[in-house]
């Protein structure tokens, strides 16, 4: 996939919407929602191309903070992390991440993971398994950890693609390491290891943080099941085993209502609920639905409904029951965001 970094602006955006920085692949709330209101008060706004910068190939998303747009890409024989001006697209800095990740079996060259911004740094995971923190202002390396050499991590066939999770002062990465080091947490400022847990291999899934049953938890698709972890210690709060043959290698937990999250299993949407019980937590699969399907674009939740894709068909699913409310063949399928009560569709 060729990367073309572009920014579209609407005249009312600066005056009507107080939008936060976009510090994670799915935004600061990890939910695909753009904060702010008032953008549509005067009708549908017109988008104008502010700037466009052609890059090399890759699969990385973007992160935005401090007036900078950051992404990963391939150029020449190397993979890069680069920062560009939010206003004009001017390249501010670029740093090599090592030799390019070669594509194969129909995939393109380049990075797979997406950058994360916080604590004045950009955090990125290379396809080879190098976890690096660089200064947002300059691109200078703050710290680096080699997941394969240090923790016995085993790269999946196309290279590491998990996106790190920044939870408070901790950077959590699903590394697939050996000897109880499948999920790792590092001090975001220093790179010092804080905790490690589990023995599972990793595919292309990423951990997410959410509030479930009155407690902040890190939810991860692991091995043949799911796990909820205490963010501070990595201690398991609960585990849930799935049926044999269920593939979670590309599963990304997505908020689906109070104490609920969604996961795509077998191509269908599976909704789980976490509740507290004496001595711990109870995890229950509530239903599966064909209203939404496995997609590169995770669904978004709005007022009790989940909006997403099945194939390239936009669908609306009742988050409480899994019933399909409507479907549309309008152009799309490459991504969607929730902006001020409206869906922004990437076609």
Predicted confidence at residue 5, as pLDDT, reads 63
Residue pLDDT, tens place only, 10-66: 444 443 333 568 999 899 999 999 887 777 777 777 778 889 999 988 889 999 999
Residue with more model confidence, 11 or 320: 320
Report the DSSP pairing between strands 116-118 and 91-99: unpaired
The rounded distance, in Å, linking the Cα atoms of 321 and 337 is 23
Neighbours of 332 (CB within 10 A): 18
Alpha-carbon torsion angle 10, 12, 16, 20, nearest 10 = 20
Closest listed residue to residue 249, CA positions, set 232, 233, 264:
264
Run of H or E including 84: strand 78-85
Predicted confidence at residue 16, as pLDDT, reads 37
What does the block give as tokens for 273? Answer: 């609920």
Phi, psi of 149 (to 5 degrees): -70, -40
pTM over 0.85: yes
Residue pLDDT, tens place only, 71-114: 999 999 999 999 999 999 999 999 999 998 887 888 888 899 99
CA dihedral over 326, 329, 334, 339, signed as positive or negative: negative
Where are the chain's structural domains? Answer: 1-155
Predicted confidence at residue 19, as pLDDT, reads 52
Architecture category of domain 1-155 in CATH: Beta Barrel (2.40)
Q: Which residues partner with 166 through β-bridges? A: 171
């Amino acid at each position: 996939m060729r990367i073309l970094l572009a920014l579209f602006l609407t005249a009312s955006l600066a005056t009507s919407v107080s939008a936060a920085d976009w510090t994670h692949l799915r935004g600061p709330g990890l939910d695909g929602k753009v904060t702010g209101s008032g953008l549509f008060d005067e009708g549908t706004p017109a988008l104008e191309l502010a700037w466009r910068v052609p890059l090399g190939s890759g699969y990385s998303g973007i992160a935005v903070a401090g007036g900078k747009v950051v992404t990963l890409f391939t150029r020449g024989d190397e993979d890069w992390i680069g920062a560009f001006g939010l206003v004009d697209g001017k390249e501010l800095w670029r740093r090599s991440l090592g030799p390019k990740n070669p594509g194969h079996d129909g995939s393109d060259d380049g990075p797979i993971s997406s950058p994360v911004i916080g604590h004045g740094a950009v955090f990125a995971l290379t396809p080879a398994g190098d976890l690096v923190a660089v200064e947002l202002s300059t691109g200078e390396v703050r710290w680096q950890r080699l997941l394969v050499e240090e923790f016995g991590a085993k790269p999946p066939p196309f290279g590491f693609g998990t996106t790190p999770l920044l939870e408070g002062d901790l950077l959590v990465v699903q590394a697939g390491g050996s000897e109880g080091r499948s999920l790792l947490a590092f001090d975001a400022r220093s790179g010092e290891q804080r905790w490690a847990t589990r023995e599972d291999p990793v595919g292309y899934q990423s951990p997410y943080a959410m509030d479930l049953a009155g407690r902040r938890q890190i939810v991860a698709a692991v091995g043949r099941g799911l796990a909820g972890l205490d963010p501070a210690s990595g201690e398991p709060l609960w585990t849930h085993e799935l049926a044999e043959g269920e593939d979670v290698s590309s599963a990304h937990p997505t908020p689906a209502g109070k104490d609920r999250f969604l996961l795509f299993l077998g191509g269908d949407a599976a909704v789980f609920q976490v509740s507290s019980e004496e001595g711990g937590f109870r995890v229950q699969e509530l239903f599966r639905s064909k209203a939404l399907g496995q997609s590169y674009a995770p669904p978004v939740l709005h007022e009790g409904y989940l909006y997403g894709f099945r194939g390239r068909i936009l669908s609306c699913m009742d988050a409480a029951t899994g019933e399909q409310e409507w479907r549309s063949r309008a152009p799309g399928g490459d991504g969607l965001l929730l902006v001020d009560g409206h869906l922004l569709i990437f076609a």
